[in-house]
Amino acid sequence: GIVTMRMCKSCLLECAYGQYNTVVRILGQKGAVIDDTEYGAGVTITFHIVPADIPALERALADATAGSVELIEDGEAYLPFDE
């Protein structure tokens, strides 16, 4: 396939283990690409996403988790997307 480089925001979020499957599903539906997952007291997911898709992602996460999961923007870079 063709890989396209796009300007993205690097983001992270933390969720409870019980929310993990729901959060990963929403990230995929909203166009986010997961870069790393760390398991500790909770689950920390690092991902990148096109900036225009962030508002819809934030709304979906808030709806699905009763506002308990918030994403933190952590810089921006050109990152690969499979087209």
Task: Provide the pLDDT for residue 83.
Answer: 61
**Confidence tier at 32 by pLDDT (50, 70, 90):** very high
The torsion defined by the Cα of 79, 38, 69 and 49, in degrees rounded to 10, comes to 10
Residue type, 59: R
**pLDDT exceeds cutoff 80 at 62:** yes
Task: Provide the pLDDT for residue 1.
Answer: 76
**pLDDT exceeds cutoff 90 at 45:** yes
Strand-pair category, 43-49 with 71-82: unpaired
Task: Provide the pLDDT for residue 82.
Answer: 67
Q: Residue 52: enclosing H or E segment and its boundaries?
A: none
pTM of the model: 0.90
CA dist 67 to 1, 11, 38, Å? 37, 17, 21
